[in-house]
A and B are shown apart, each in its own frame.
Chain A
Amino acid sequence: MTVHINKPATGNKAKRILPVGHYRGLGAWTVFFFIFLYLPIVVLIFYSFNANRMVMNWGGFGIDWYIKAFQNDDIQKAVWNSLIVATVATVFATAIATIGALVLARGGNFRGKTVSLGLITLPLMVPEIVTAVAVLIFFSAIGMNWGLGNVIIAHITFCIPFAFMPIRARLEGMDTSLEQAARDLYASEWETFRFVTAPLLMPGIVAGSMLSFVISMDDFIITLMVGGAGSTTLPVYIYSMIRRGLTPEINAVSTVLLFFSVAIVTAYWIVSNKSQTKTVH
């Protein structure tokens, strides 16, 4: 038998041995990572309070640009457009995704299940620019020109998978014996859905609609390509502002939009975390 005790090179006893799987520097790396991730956001917010006309020349603290942005008619119009598009797209996408998810999670195994799943998640796989081009060509080919309507239809399409995923995850995490118990206790199919499945599914539906709302609010490239002159949404308007010149007004509008998204995602996070703990116990 061979003995293979490999003594450490130095007799430095003070050196603490890290537990297996731990590595030095991971924590520092992670801190650096989060700085990289959040620095731009912090910078953006910071400069939105710049009183100067130029973004990068600090001219003292001021909220003038917020006031200016709120009074800007074009921004107001863009905000309205964004809200209309996001609301309508979310309602439709969530409804469509919910019944789709019910079929795919509760319909057993059937021919075409994989294909259906692939189709619903297709908008996630295709690069946004390709979707944008395809939809633009399509509308022009059939001569459809409903202004904001075109934008809404495009948004419904790419929001479906975002609404679908949390709803399906929720359904698959749900104990089917609950539904069986309801059926066993003389509930009709409709009653089972109404009193058992739907209430349990609600957090998934809320989460799905929040995600699709955020995605729709934030979309830029598809709206830019598909939307016409009258259907400028907030991100598209911000883009045009950037092209015109960098003023802190962009930062101010962006900061508002940013907080809006963060608020919704935080709400989503709380809802989904809550529903997780609920299912566990």
Chain B
Amino acid sequence: MNESIPAITANNVVKHYGGSASPVVALKNISLEIRDNEFFTLLGPSGCGKTTLLRLIAGFEQVTDGKIMLFDDEIANLEPSQRPVNTVFQHYALFPHMTVAQNVAFGLERLKKPRSEIETTVNEVLTLVKMKHLADRSPNQLSGGQQQRVALARALAPSPKVLLLDEPLSALDLKLRQAMREELKQLQRETGITFVFVTHDQEEALSMSDRIAVMSEGEVQQIGRPTDIYEHPVNRFVADFIGDTNFLDGEIMSIDDDLVTCRVGTQSMFEAENSGGHKVGDQVSLFLRPEKITLSPQSETIGTDTRPGKVANIIYLGNQAAYTVDIGGGIELIAQARPREDGNLPFAIGDSLAVGFSARALRVLAQ
């Protein structure tokens, strides 16, 4: 496929709702490119504009300003029915008056495909989503997971250039949701169709996407691969929204080639990786993922990267436990530890321990 032309290009897209007198701004100024064949995720809390952007691409809403291109074509003046883009709706929106097969055939019939081709395609797509045996059922007789598969099949049947998925997993229970993640990813690889996936669930985004756009308040905060987003968030919002994080607010005291030294609180000093662009005196947030912290008994303390701490609270999660550790100076950090082989937790509340993390794990974010 052509790598050079993006499947979807959004240029300075602005979307207002309501009258021009007191508009509600849904999208402030969105520009992004979604590459052909990629699994692209729009991630953000509810109300961040991710669904609006999806609806603009599908054609259910019209942009207030800006341009949306589908490959080489501007699609702003096209009805949804004229766009080679299909949607998997959040609550599936299956036609209750049609069977599963009729639902899947709907788009092909509107495209005036020959009868025989429709039949073949419907069979193929239903086989692909493992729903062929229920082809003659009514959607009302299906479970949530099955409806989900039909919705997927229905949107895939006309071979869209881009498949839009609007929080398709949100209505399923946890187990099913996890299983569907793998299937969706696999489906995307097999069909080679560009997926644009909208979710507020960071785990979904990280596990399936080739690239993620993190959105907040009608703006794109960061676009990147899952690892970029997780390890190198560009701002505090992204760091906070994705995964669990410790934030240490402080002031830059000195800067050398690789390290920045910050004072947090009154006396605690922390060294962090120098990501550039900072100057002495800046108010910054240091960001530290819990899994980058090692907890060890005090006696084993070695090296310069450790500080003494005391267990303040424990939240047991089964496969691990989240420890709140007081490291003095009014600073508490969240860290993780696995239960020992006998199932007991390694530390108890009140235990003194050594808290270790390297300067490379600490990153500086503007406040």
Classify A-B as touching or not with yes or no (CB < 8 A).
yes
Q: B-contacting residues of A (Cβ < 8 Å)?
A: 1-8, 13, 15-17, 19-20
Kindly identify which residue among A5, A13, A20 contacts B83, using a CB–CB cutoff of 8 Å.
A5
Q: Which residue of B lies closest to A18 (CB)?
A: B79
| B111 CB → nearest A CB, Å | 6
Contacts of A20 in B (CB 8 A): 60, 80
B82 touches A8 (CB 8 A): yes
B62 touches A4 (CB 8 A): no
Interface locus among B70-78, B95-103, B266-274, B300-308: B70-78
B84 touches A5 (CB 8 A): yes
How distant is the Cα of A101 from the Cα of B310 in the complex, in angstroms? 69
How distant is the Cα of A20 from the Cα of B159 in the complex, in angstroms? 22
A13 touches B161 (CB 8 A): no
| A23 CB → nearest B CB, Å | 13
Binary interface profile of B, 182-206, with partner A (CB < 8 Å = 1, else 0)? 0000000000000000000000000
Number of chain B residues whose Cβ lies closer than 8 Å to a Cβ of chain A: 18
| A18 CB → nearest B CB, Å | 9
Contacts of A4 in B (CB 8 A): 84, 111, 158
| A20 CB → nearest B CB, Å | 6
How distant is the Cα of A187 from the Cα of B102 in the complex, in angstroms? 55
B159 touches A2 (CB 8 A): yes
Q: Which residue of A lies closest to B192 (CB)?
A: A1
How distant is the Cα of A20 from the Cα of B83 in the complex, in angstroms? 13
| A35 CB → nearest B CB, Å | 28
The 9 closest A-B pairs by CB, nearest first: A6-B82, A1-B159, A4-B84, A5-B73, A5-B84, A17-B62, A13-B77, A20-B60, A3-B84
Q: Which residue of B lies closest to A16 (CB)?
A: B62
A8 touches B77 (CB 8 A): yes
| B18 CB → nearest A CB, Å | 14
Contacts of A13 in B (CB 8 A): 77
Kindly identify which residue among B61, B78, B158, B159 contacts A5, using a CB–CB cutoff of 8 Å.
B78
Query: Would A17 and B79 be within 8 Å (CB), given that A4-B84, A5-B70 are in contact?
Result: yes
Docked complex: B57-71 residues within 8 A CB-CB of A:
59-62, 70
| B15 CB → nearest A CB, Å | 13
Of B60, B77, B158, most A-chain CB atoms within 10 Å: B77
How distant is the Cα of A16 from the Cα of B62 in the complex, in angstroms? 9
Contacts of B70 in A (CB 8 A): 5
B161 touches A3 (CB 8 A): yes
How distant is the Cα of A2 from the Cα of B61 in the complex, in angstroms? 25
Kindly identify which residue among A1, A8, A16, A17 contacts B161, using a CB–CB cutoff of 8 Å.
A1
Contacts of A5 in B (CB 8 A): 70, 73, 75, 78, 82-84
Contacts of A15 in B (CB 8 A): 77
| A26 CB → nearest B CB, Å | 17
Contacts of B73 in A (CB 8 A): 5
B159 touches A8 (CB 8 A): no
Q: Which residue of B lies closest to A4 (CB)?
A: B84
How distant is the Cα of A5 from the Cα of B80 in the complex, in angstroms? 11
How distant is the Cα of A129 from the Cα of B62 in the complex, in angstroms? 55
Query: Would A17 and B159 be within 8 Å (CB), given that A5-B70, A5-B84 are in contact?
Result: no
Contacts of B62 in A (CB 8 A): 16-17
| B12 CB → nearest A CB, Å | 17
| B95 CB → nearest A CB, Å | 15
Contacts of B78 in A (CB 8 A): 5-8, 17
How distant is the Cα of A3 from the Cα of B71 in the complex, in angstroms? 11
How distant is the Cα of A15 from the Cα of B76 in the complex, in angstroms? 11
Q: Which residue of B lies closest to A8 (CB)?
A: B77
How distant is the Cα of A17 from the Cα of B55 in the complex, in angstroms? 14
How distant is the Cα of A5 from the Cα of B78 in the complex, in angstroms? 9
Kindly identify which residue among B60, B82, B84 contacts A19, using a CB–CB cutoff of 8 Å.
B60
| B335 CB → nearest A CB, Å | 46
How distant is the Cα of A264 from the Cα of B132 in the complex, in angstroms? 59
How distant is the Cα of A51 from the Cα of B62 in the complex, in angstroms? 58
How distant is the Cα of A58 from the Cα of B80 in the complex, in angstroms? 56
Query: Would A17 and B77 be within 8 Å (CB), given that A2-B159, A3-B84, A4-B84 are in contact?
Result: yes
How distant is the Cα of A271 from the Cα of B357 in the complex, in angstroms? 69
Q: Which residue of A lies closest to B113 (CB)?
A: A2
How distant is the Cα of A19 from the Cα of B79 in the complex, in angstroms? 9
Contacts of B84 in A (CB 8 A): 3-5
Contacts of A3 in B (CB 8 A): 84, 161
Contacts of B159 in A (CB 8 A): 1-2
Docked complex: B94-139 residues within 8 A CB-CB of A:
111
Contacts of B61 in A (CB 8 A): 19
26 CB contacts below 8 A, A to B, read: A1-B159, A2-B159, A3-B84, A3-B161, A4-B84, A4-B111, A4-B158, A5-B70, A5-B73, A5-B82, A5-B83, A5-B84, A6-B78, A6-B82, A8-B78, A8-B82, A13-B77, A15-B77, A16-B62, A17-B59, A17-B62, A17-B78, A19-B60, A19-B61, A20-B60, A20-B80
How distant is the Cα of A5 from the Cα of B59 in the complex, in angstroms? 13
| B325 CB → nearest A CB, Å | 47
Contacts of A17 in B (CB 8 A): 59, 62, 77-79
| B126 CB → nearest A CB, Å | 19
